[in-house]
Amino acid sequence: MRKIGLILLGLMFLVSKTPAEAYLGTINSGVEVSKVDSKYHFKLIMETGDYRVSLAKMVVNFSNKLKVESVKVNREAFSGVFREEASGENASIYALANAAYDKLPKGKIVVAEIVASAVSTEGTATVSLKEYEVVGPSETSDKKYQIAFENKNIDMEPASVPTPNGTTGFLRFKVSAAGMNANAKCANQLPVSVMVMDNNGVSKTYNEVVLQRKEADGKVNFEGSVLLEGMSSKNSLGVFIKGPKHIQVKYGENNQKEFYNKAGGQVSVGVSENDSPMYDFTGFALMAGDVTGENGRQDGLIDGRDFSLVKSEVVKRTKVAEGGYLAADLNGNCILESQDLALLMVSLMQKQEQLY
CB closer to Ca ion out of 276 and 333: 333
DSSP class of residue 152 equals G
Q: How far is the CB of 352 from Ca ion (least distance, A)?
A: 10
Q: How far is the CB of 111 from Ca ion (least distance, A)?
A: 24
Q: How far is the CB of 70 from Ca ion (least distance, A)?
A: 17
Hey, which residues does 70 pair with through a beta bridge?
A: 115
Report which residue type is found at 240: F
Report which residue type is found at 326: L
Q: How far is the CB of 168 from Ca ion (least distance, A)?
A: 33
CB closer to Ca ion out of 191 and 270: 191
Q: How far is the CB of 20 from Ca ion (least distance, A)?
A: 38
Rounded CA separation 228/153 (Å): 33
CB closer to Ca ion out of 162 and 293: 293
> From residue 290, how far is each of 78, 135, 154, 161, 346 by CA, in Å?
17, 29, 32, 26, 12
SS3 label, residue 237: strand
Whether the CB-CB separation of 249 and 354 falls below 8 Å is answered with yes
Site for Ca ion, rule CB under 5 A:
290, 293, 299, 301, 306, 329, 331, 333, 340
CB closer to Ca ion out of 198 and 329: 329
CB closer to Ca ion out of 45 and 301: 301
Rounded CA separation 187/289 (Å): 15
CB closer to Ca ion out of 74 and 333: 333
Q: How far is the CB of 109 from Ca ion (least distance, A)?
A: 25
Whether the CB-CB separation of 75 and 297 falls below 8 Å is answered with yes
Hey, which residues does 87 pair with through a beta bridge?
A: 90
CB closer to Ca ion out of 124 and 338: 338
Q: How far is the CB of 24 from Ca ion (least distance, A)?
A: 34
Sheet strands (E) in the chain: 22-26, 39-52, 55-63, 66-73, 80-87, 90-96, 106-118, 126-137, 144-146, 154-158, 170-175, 189-197, 203-216, 219-227, 238-242, 249-251, 278-280
